[in-house]
Structure formats: C-alpha cells, structure tokens
Copies of this chain bind each other. A is one copy, B any other.
Amino acid sequence: MTATIHKIGGNRAPSLEPMFKLVAPGMNKVNAVILDRMQSEIPLIPELAGHLIAGGGKRMRPMLTLACAQLLDYPGDRHHKLAAAVEFIHTATLLHDDVVDGSDMRRGKTAANLIFGNPAAVLVGDFLFSRSFELMVEDGSLKVLKILSNASAVIAEGEVNQLTAQRQISTTEEKYLEIIGSKTAALFAAACRIAAVVAESGDAQEMSLDAYGRNLGIAFQLVDDAIDYVSDGATMGKDSGDDFRDGKVTLPVILAHIRGNADEQKFWRDAMLGNRISDADLKHARTLLQAHNAIDDTLDRARHYGQRAIDAIAHFPNGEAKSALTEAVEFAIARAY
C-alpha cells in the first residue's frame, strides 16, 4: 500500500505492549475468572468455549476495562469479574457470528462451528451469554447491568442490520457506520464505561470513557474492513477476501462503488451478489479499490475516529494508563500498514 501514514504520535511502531504491561496483573485475575466460569458439568461447554477463549485473541475489551479503571485510579477489584463478563459477551457474539457467516477460520484457527457443529456453537454462545449476566448479578450493580444488557441488545440489532444489508450494494456510508457502531463499537464503549461506574467517577467521566471506547471501536472495525482486502490469512487470523466473497458491503466497497463508472458499479453489484468470487475477481476488486483510493480513505476515516478517541480522554492526567490507551488507538490504526 502507498498511503501516507499520518501517525498520531511517537517514533517507534505503535503496539499494545504498554497496555499489556499496564494490565498484566489484573488480566491474570480476569483470566482466572474466565477459566473458572466457563466450566460446566457438561464437558462440551468448556471444550468448545476453551477452543475460542484459550485459543488466543487479544482480549482487547477486558484490557480496556482494566486500563480505564487504572486511568481513574480505581483501587478495588470489582472490575475483574465485570471484564470477564464483557469477554463472555464478546465470545458469545463471535460464536454466533461464525454460525451466521459460515466462517471457516477465527483467530487463525478453524472456527468452532466447523469443529463442534453449528448447534453446539449456538448453545455454548447462549451459555456464555447467560454466564456473563450471572457474573454481573454477582457484582450487583444495576447500572452495569443496564449498560451491558443494552449493549447486548444493540449488538444483536447491529448484527441483524448487517444481515439485512448483506449483498446490498446500495448500502450507504451512513448505514455502514450505524452497523459498525452497533455491532462493534457498542461493546468497546460499554467495556470502557463500566470502569467509570465501578470507580464511581460520575456521569461526565463515564461519557468520556464511553466516547473513547466507541470511537476506538469504530476505528478498529474500519481498519479490520480495510485489512480484509490487503492481508493474507496469516496476518488477519481469518481468510483474506472473506468479506468480498460473503458479500459484506464494507466502507472500502462503498467508496469504490460510489466513485466508480457504470462498468465498475456493475462489477461491485455482481460481486456483492456472489457472482464474482474467483481469485481473479478479488484481484480486480483490489485494483479498483486502489484506483479510487478506497482503502486509503477508509483508513483516513479510521484515523478520524482514532483522533476523537484520543481527544475524549485528553483531559485525564498524563501517566501510564493514558499513554497505554492512546497507543492502543495508534496500534489499531497502524495494523493496516
């Protein structure tokens, strides 16, 4: 790719290392809760859940809860259980997503639904989702329960919205943003916001962290959608070109389509309808994306939301937590390069 990199800050390549370092002690506790609470007398449940949970993933969302709690100097430990609850919601969503999409890879491994079957993936997702609410109930904050039950409903709405938009080349950028705001950014926002709830930091701080998480989530998803057209399977942990073959109308496609001539628009329409799924078609798609600057401009949009995320926490005192949260945004963007 030839995009100019407008890096947000720093000289070395941005990474999640400062975040890992910041939250490592807390994440040990979160991981202990996760491992403990995914157990069941029905062996298939920990087996399937473990495939996905133990099998990697950055645990971005629980890390955000922990980092935000540190930003607020929260001295307690309630957030460990709640961070695990957030990860369970996310895992349940992934399991159901893979059934919905018929995915064959997830986090660089064979997707759980292919190994254990769709029925088990649906039901273990339901189990983890219920478990996440049990964890929240144990914590006992109705406010956290409200935030996360609302986020869950919004995620499901976003997923249905995406399903409805699938293969519809007429999907607008506005609608696309609405979809990723629901299906991805809502849980990022909630993961950050609940840190301010347990720290009892007040509405203003809650909304700052909500805005940080929401904008970071949108940036993350935009970059993911760009990467799907530029990476190989090894980088992404899923097959490159999946979105193209599944007829997912993401922002790169929306931009290339709206900027294209009649022939190109026909190509995109055909492609989204599933009639252009060969490697040659994907190659042609990449050529068109390049010609119309669609990837670069998608990443510019991502940078815009990334900058908003950083500004949403600008008023917090400088320190390790703020640096780690800032660099997490830069990392989210830099993944594309």
| Interface of A toward B, CB cutoff 8 Å | 40-45, 92-93, 96, 99-101, 118-120, 122-124, 126-127, 129-131, 133-134, 136-137, 140, 142, 145-146, 149-150, 152-153, 155-157, 159-161, 163-164
CA distance A96 to B129 in the complex (A): 13
Partner of A42, one of B43, B119, B137, B157: B157
List 8 tightest A-B contacts by C-beta distance, closest first. Answer: A127-B156, A130-B153, A130-B152, A133-B149, A100-B119, A126-B156, A123-B159, A137-B146
CA gap between A146 and B139 in the complex, in Å: 11
A153 touches B134 (CB 8 A): yes
* Contact residues in B for A146 (Cβ distance below 8 Å): 134, 137
Which of B119, B136, B137, B156 interacts with A124 by CB under 8 Å?
A: B156
Say whether A40 contacts B134, CB under 8 Å: no
For A96, give the chain B residue with the smallest CB separation. Answer: B122
B126 in contact with A42 (CB, 8 Å): no
Closest to A127 in B: B156
Residue numbers in B under 8 Å from A120 (CB-CB)? 160, 163
Q: Please, how many angstroms separate the alpha-carbon atoms of A257 and B131 in the complex? A: 36
A123 to B179 CA separation, bound complex (whole angstroms): 14
Q: Which residue of B is nearest A150, CB measured?
A: B134
Q: Offer 15 A-B interface pairs, CB within 8 angstroms, sorted by A.
A: A40-B157, A42-B157, A42-B161, A44-B164, A92-B126, A93-B126, A96-B122, A100-B119, A122-B122, A127-B153, A131-B153, A133-B133, A133-B149, A134-B149, A134-B153
Q: A126-B156, A133-B145, A137-B142 provided; 14 other pairs, C-beta below 8 A? A: A42-B164, A96-B123, A99-B99, A99-B118, A120-B160, A124-B160, A126-B129, A127-B157, A129-B156, A130-B149, A130-B155, A130-B156, A134-B146, A137-B149
Contacts of A119 in B (CB 8 A): 99-101, 163
List residues of chain B with CB within 8 A of the CB of A157: 40-42, 45, 127
Residues of B within 8 A of A140 (CB): 142
Question: Do B159 and A126 have beta carbons less than 8 Å apart?
Answer: yes
